[in-house]
Structure 1
Amino acid sequence: MPLLSPGSLDAAHLLRLVLLPAVMLAISVSVHIVANNMDFQRDQLAAKEAEVRRVLAVIREREQLLHAVVDSIDVGLVALDAEGRVTLTNRQQQAFAVRAGSRDTAPDLQQERQKIYDGDGVTFLPPADRPVRRAAVKQEVAGQLLWLGEEPQRIAVSATARSIDGQDGDCAGGSVVLFKDVTDQLAKLAAKDDFMSGISHELRTPLTSILAYLELAMEHPDLPEDVAAHLEVADRNAERLLTLISDFLSASAGTLEIRPEPTDLAGVVRSAVQSAAATAAAKNIALDNQVDHELVSAADPARMGQVLDNLLSNAIKYSPAGSTVTLRGWQHAGHSVLEVVDTGYGMDDADRLRVFDRFFRSSSARRSGIHGTGLGLVVAKEIVERHGGTIDVSSALGEGTTFTVTLPAAERRPSGSALGAEVVTSE
């Protein structure tokens, strides 16, 4: 109150009167702001902590789900990081490791003392050649066959490795190696081979008898000319059937014999077209032979006749009535090339990749009810490859199929080769 009396308030008194409250006010405001910021940051930290806990819970849940999934599948799994270190295995892979004699070691099947053998079941497979070690050094592994353990408990597994791309393009990813038990499949294939071998042996005896009686019939002096021609066709096809049965036995034993010589494939094509003409006519299918020039190759004419007979037979079987099967041929880069083209049912990509597998028949063939054994193309591929050639297939479902056979060309022309094109149609 004295300061408020007249004449007692000067600048110094006024400054002292205002300064202290102003300073206290500033301090109070600063403290309040700092306290509010701390409360806000504490709330943010609490929210982030809660979010981290939630994310960790989700990660743990997904990790548990991942382990449950990989442990429930019947395929062994080994995951590798970018440096080739094992980061994950599943229960099935651990069971495979036990089969290999490594109950107390890591299940990646890389241990030297593990009993792991190559596809022949006899050759010991060193660790450097095993799938996980190969995947660790970025090698491609596709269907590598291994045998684990010793008899009578040994099993066969097929291994495949796939690379994993990193999230960053500059950062390399890891790999995943899958091991599948194929013991039962191999046993079934062996049983099928034994079955076919037995059937082939059983069919050979009656066919030999049929051929003998056909030969006697064709030697009859009063045989009409048209009947003799029919008997010759029957005799020729019975001979081919007997050769095919022998080839089944030889192919299963790995003893298919090839005797290449300079051969004009144009003549082989004409013979195959002539043999298939009756079957094509019965289905109203035209056979268009465009091989109208000499096509010399180092080939066994009888074996290549089998290949073309099989390809033509398939083309006719899997083509609708009124369509055309075309045969083309040319030489390119020291090779002779033959094509058999149809406009039939065709195959999808999955069937096309398996068309040369033993006993395989495409889904369109099964749906159509056309009979077959799934062995003809296997034998054809074996014959072509033993010639040093290749056989390829291109197809589209509903658009037809093209088989392409490539053989080494020959320098010398075979003697007595007749040329010419022909179109065989049903009337």
Structure 2
Amino acid sequence: MQETDDVERMWQLTAEHSPVGMTLVSPEGLLLTANRALCTMLRCEEADLRGTDYSLLTHPQDRERHTALFDETIAGGRESYRLTKRCVRLDGSTLWGDLSAATMRSGTGEVRFVIGQLLDVTEQRRHEELLADALDVITRQRRMSQAILDTVDVGLLLIDREGRYEDYNRRHADFLDLAFPDGHRGWSGQPGEVYAADGVSLVGAEQMPETRAARGEEFDDYRLWIGADPAHRRALSISARSVRDDQGAFAGAAMAYSDITDLMRAISTRDAFLASVSHELRTPLASVIGYLELLVDHGGLDAGALQQVAVVRRNATRLRHLVSDLLDSAQHRGGPIVLNRERVDLSEVVGEAVEAALPTARAAGLGLESAIMDAVVAEVDAGRVRQVVDNLLSNSVKYTDPGGQVTLTLTVVDQEAVVSVRDTGIGMSAADLDRLFTTFFRSERARDRHAPGVGLGLGICEAIVVGHGGRIEVASVVDGGTTFTVRLPLGERA
């Protein structure tokens, strides 16, 4: 008997000091006891709860479900149940509770009590609702973003640090279908019907734009063709930017694919037209210049007529140079410039270019100086190298005001011939430098000076230098002059 009393006393102490609300409910559904935690949750005293129907403490919207479970338990259909419900306090306010209920039966199997335990989950529920609302907002925003991305006429791709495809829009899916007719497996470098800008050479795995982006490279206007069928293939201009995590580490890349098929075909048509016109103009121009030279050599012209013939001859020669530039420009965009390499002394080639530029520089009121290393032997196309140096000297003279200075140097550094042309001219802005080698581009300051030219020379120079396996660099400051540096390997590169 004493042991039973001790157990009951222990149970009372446990219930009284438990942080979980506890109660005993009669089979008729009336509350018989309530511990301190339950009274605190419901904001009342135990006396206020005794004899209260449990259903009155349940929110009307949850009452039917709770009543069904309670009745089923009393009828013997189950021994316990659990549900999350809204509880109504005596002051009318509500809280969310996690209720667990189990029966206590007599020796004959009749239900004596239902033991209820209630845990206040109001704060948890609030957080769940906030999380659900936030998730709903994110879901709506994602659907909206995806709709926007699928609307734009640019292919968009996101890859992770391993080069795996994470997401892309509908337009890029169209490009994938064309480039990979057998299906794409979602990783960078997969071979397919992808061709270089020439439309002929297949792009290898290492040069695929996604592979480059996965290596952390950033680039703009990387051009290639996709699709094997010439009638349906597309030209793409691709840009890539790296994505970084919170610690600044490389996490992947975002890429944009613009369809420039119409532009590429227009350029091809333009180049074919320029090449055709240039060829057609060369023959009559050669005839005109030839007859002008015969007139000069005839000796029967007076001074006034000779002066007039000289003007015609000068303009015809200028026109011939322009026609040559147009033809060269069309040829180098169609593929690498053809070079006739031989071992030559660049000192002589560069020196001759300086001598040829001296009269023009002096007439413009400029100083032209040179420092040329002796015996710089290289395997190059001498005529093409001379064309580059002539163009750079001509530009420096053209864009330098009277009293200025143009300086040319030729040295050898690390098995490369280095030709530098520096002037004190008008210079260029950073925006101009970005587009300097673009065909037909002329800076705003050059246009303001009304200097002759159509913006072909530097593009041709770059093509010649690159064709030799070299590179051309430029540094310039507005009103502070410009320096062009050409680096050519002394020997032929594979």
TM-score, with length taken from structure 2: 0.63
Query: In 2, are the aligned partners of 1:336 and 1:407 still within 8 Å (CA)?
Result: yes
Closer, same or farther: CA 144–246 of 1 in aligned 2, 3 Å: closer
**1:276-315, aligned counterparts within 5 Å?**
276-277=360-361, 281=364, 285-291=365-371, 294=374, 296-298=376-378, 302-315=383-396
Match of 1:217 in 2: 295
What TM-score do you get using the length of structure 1 for normalisation?
0.71
Query: Are the equivalent residues in 1 in contact too, given 2:347–2:376 (CA < 8 A)?
Result: yes
Alpha-carbon distance between aligned partners in 2 of 1:85 and 1:301, rounded to the nearest angstrom: 48
Residue 354 (structure 1) shift: 2.6
Which residue number in structure 1 is paired with residue 459 of structure 2?
Answer: 378
CA displacement, residues 262-319 of structure 1 (integer Å, 9 cap, x when unaligned): 14355324323235237x52xxx52332437757453655444432332233234434
- Runs of 5+ in structure 1 lacking a partner? 1-18, 411-427
Alignment correspondent of 2:345: 262
Aligned to 1:199: 277
**1:138 correspondence with 2:215:** yes
Q: Retained in 2: the 8 A contact 1:262–1:297?
A: yes
- Partner Cα separation in structure 1 for residue 170 and residue 294 of structure 2: 68
Counterpart-to-counterpart distance in 2, 1:294 and 1:123 = 41
CA distance in 2: counterparts of 1:291 and 1:112, whole angstroms: 52
1:354 counterpart (432, 435, 457): 435
The 2-side partners of 1:342 and 1:48 are apart by 69
CA shift in 2, pair 1:131/1:303, >3 Å: closer
Alignment of 1:21-420 (within 5 A): 29=36, 31-33=38-40, 42-100=121-179, 102=181, 115-123=193-201, 130-132=208-210, 134=211, 138=215, 140=217, 142=219, 143-169=222-248, 173-221=251-299, 242=320, 245-246=323-324, 248-249=326-327, 252-253=330-331, 254-257=337-340, 259-265=342-348, 267-277=351-361, 281=364, 285-291=365-371, 294=374, 296-298=376-378, 302-319=383-400, 321-322=401-402, 324-333=404-413, 334-366=415-447, 370-408=451-489
Cα shift readout 1:387-419 (whole Å, capped 9, x = no counterpart):
554321112344332112234569xxxxxxxxx
1:105-124 alpha-carbon deviations (Å, 9 max, x no partner)? 56969798964444443455
Pick closer, same or farther for the CA change 1:269–1:205 going to 2, 3 Å: closer
1:54-83 deviations in Å (ceiling 9; x for gaps): 321331233133213322322211212344
* Structure 2, unpaired ranges of 5+: 1-8, 18-34, 44-94, 98-118, 332-336
Q: Name which one, 1 or 2, has greater alpha-carbon Rg.
A: 2
Alignment partners' CA distance in 1, 2:385 and 2:241: 39
Is contact 2:418–2:487 with CA below 8 Å preserved after alignment? Answer: yes
Q: Distance in 2 between matches of 1:209 and 1:78?
A: 57
The question of whether the paired residues in 2 share the 8 Å contact of 1:357 and 1:378 is answered with yes
Pair 324,226 (structure 1): closer, same or farther in 2 beyond 3 Å? farther
User: Alignment RMSD, CA only?
Assistant: 4.4
What amino acid is aligned across from residue 282 of structure 2 in structure 1?
Answer: R
Structure with the larger strand share: 2
- Select the structure with the greater relative contact order (CA < 8 A; seq sep ≥ 6): 1
Alignment coverage as a number of residue pairs: 382
Equivalent position SS for 2:360? helix
